[in-house]
């Protein structure tokens, strides 16, 4: 028990002597030892911030865009601007042809089952409407490109109704 008491007293005395040392004097760094910290630089943009609330305008009908010197009838009858595509198909069915033609403008397609397996070969350049007319002439079918509903329909050609000759 005496040895434990002597060991405890020695430990406390060592702690007391080391804890009571005087303050250390300030020693400034030499210029060669100084560390330079560069600002951080991003390699990509900041992460998107998602919020539950959003400021939006109330719904309203947009006004007609004014084009000086052009009547509204001329705007309705003017040709639309469409992208030009190259269509190259060899010995493809009309169903595949309709799918490819519709996929160029991200439209859906429909092919009549009676003509779906008919083969056609096409290699041409044009807008989706022009390519539809080329397919009509090549395969003797009716191609309807519906831009409002975003659909391309390939239907069987309609026969003409009989007419009497007029004299």
At 130, which CATH number?
Answer: 3.55.50.30
Residue 57 lies in a domain: no
Q: Quote the CA–CA distance of 82 and 126 in Å, as a whole number.
A: 9
pLDDT for 164 equals 75
pLDDT for 36 equals 76
Residue 136 lies in a domain: yes
pLDDT for 69 equals 61
Residue 27 lies in a domain: no
Residue 131 lies in a domain: yes
Count the domains in the chain. Answer: 1
| Residue 124 CB partners (closer than 8 Å, separation 6+) | 86, 87, 131, 134
What DSSP character marks residue 127?
Answer: -
Residue 128 lies in a domain: yes
Q: Which domain holds residue 96?
A: 85-156
141-160 burial, b for 16+ CB within 10 Å, e for fewer? bbbebeeeeeebbbeeeeee
% the chain with pLDDT above 70: 78
Judge whether 80 and 110 are in contact, CB under 8 Å.
no
Q: Dig out the tokens for 36 from the structure.
A: 């330079």
pLDDT for 20 equals 65
Residue 68 lies in a domain: no
Q: Dig out the tokens for 111 from the structure.
A: 């092919």
Residue 28 lies in a domain: no
Q: Is the pLDDT of residue 31 over 60?
A: no
Q: Quote the CA–CA distance of 129 and 143 in Å, as a whole number.
A: 9
One DSSP character per residue, 40-103 reads P--SSPPPP---S----PPP-PPPPPP-TT--HHHHHHSPPP---EEEEEEEEEHHHHHHHHHH
Q: Is the pLDDT of residue 159 over 80?
A: no
- Tell me the per-residue pLDDT of 34-78, one tens digit each, with 9 for 90 and over: 677 888 888 888 787 777 777 777 888 766 666 666 666 776 776
Residue 161 lies in a domain: no
What's the rounded mean pLDDT across residues 13-23?
Answer: 70
């Amino acid at each position: 028990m005496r040895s434990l008491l002597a060991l405890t007293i020695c430990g406390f005395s060592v702690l007391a002597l080391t804890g009571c040392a005087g303050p250390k004097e300030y020693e400034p760094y030499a210029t060669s030892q100084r560390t330079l910290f560069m600002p951080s630089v991003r390699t990509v943009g900041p992460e998107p911030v998602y919020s539950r609330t959003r400021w939006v305008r109330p719904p309203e009908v947009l006004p007609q865009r004014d084009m000086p010197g052009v009547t509204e009838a001329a705007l309705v009858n003017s040709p639309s601007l469409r992208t030009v595509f190259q269509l190259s198909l060899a010995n493809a069915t009309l169903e595949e042809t309709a799918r490819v033609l519709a996929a160029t403008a991200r439209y859906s397609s429909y092919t009549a089952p009676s003509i779906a397996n008919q083969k056609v070969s096409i290699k041409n350049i044009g807008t989706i409407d022009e390519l539809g007319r080329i397919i009509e002439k090549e395969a003797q079918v009716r191609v309807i490109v519906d831009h409002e509903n975003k659909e391309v329909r390939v239907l069987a050609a309609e026969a003409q109704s009989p007419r009497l000759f007029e004299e």
